[in-house]
Amino acid sequence: MKLEVKNLTKNYGTKEVLKNINFTFEDGKIYGLVGRNGSGKTTFFNCLNDDVDINKGEFFLDGERLKVEDIGYVTATPIVPEFLTGKEFLKFYLDINEDKLVERKSLEEYFEIVKISKEDQNKLLKEYSHGMKNKIQILVNIILNPKVILLDEPLTSLDIVVQEDLKKLLREWKKNHIIIFSTHILELAMDLCDEMIVLSNKQLEEVKKENLTMKNYKEKIIQELKDDKSVS
């Protein structure tokens, strides 16, 4: 499975953020997307998810135009209905998406995926920590088994144990999915991801490891980031 980005350009007024990007992502890999603050990582995700109008460009999944239903998008700031409990929200989500489920599991099985305890399942979402809300957001974005998964800073607010659980889960998903993982924590991306992509100077560039040591590989990525003249 291949996701092709062709000639993507995005401007905000007179400010050009992404310029004529061409890139191909493949399943079986987790792509680490890194870039300096303001480089356009979230804008890139928003373009793929059709959340913003683009100035130019096309997206194809295995030769067919990319559809929104092919994408699961976990945003940096989780948005959940805080007046519902975790269990109420999950049941509501499953009910309204019943026709899209390949196989419906029990609520307990779904909560087990992201390690949310029985006690927390019955709490109002407004009482959840940022990290727990993020786990709920990750869960509902994978239930429908989208082909492309966009993760915008999904693990930053989670403790080390939960991070490791979710990293294991992501490694299991990658076999039949295209996963693009955006983070500002370089060490996290290098630990988790199979390929490193730098968004620099409005372009996507793969940084190949080749025969470099981990230290030299990290230095190479940092140098790519320093060379970004599009951000201050």
- Where helices occur in the chain by DSSP H, the ranges are 41-48, 86-96, 107-113, 118-121, 130-142, 160-173, 186-192, 214-226
pTM: 0.88
Judged by DSSP in three states, 74 sits in strand
Domain membership of residue 112 (yes or no) is: no
Please name the residue that has the structure tokens 């970004």.
Answer: 228
Residue type for position 164:
E
Domain membership of residue 134 (yes or no) is: no
Q: Are the CB atoms for 195 and 29 separated by under 8 Å?
A: yes
Band the pLDDT of 123: cuts 50, 70, 90. very high
Domain membership of residue 6 (yes or no) is: yes
Domain membership of residue 217 (yes or no) is: yes
Q: Of 224 and 181, which is predicted with more confidence? A: 181
Residue type for position 154:
P
Res 209: pLDDT: 77
Domain membership of residue 92 (yes or no) is: no
Domain membership of residue 171 (yes or no) is: yes
Q: Count the alpha carbons within 13 Å of 172 in the hemisphere toward its beta carbon.
A: 9
Q: Model confidence over 125-178: pLDDT tens digits?
A: 999 988 888 889 888 888 888 999 999 987 776 777 777 877 888 888 888 899
Spatial CA neighbour of 231 closest among 52, 21, 17: 17
- Give the β-pairing of 148-152 and 178-182: parallel
CATH number (domain holding residue 33): 3.40.50.300
Number of domains into which the chain is organized: 1
Residue 181's DSSP bridge partners are 32, 151
Band the pLDDT of 217: cuts 50, 70, 90. confident
Distance CA 193, CA 141 (A): 20
Domain membership of residue 95 (yes or no) is: no
Domain membership of residue 133 (yes or no) is: no
Structural domain boundaries enclosing 202: 2-81+147-226
Res 2: pLDDT: 94
38 φψ region: left (φ > 0), alpha (ψ -120 to 50), beta (else): left
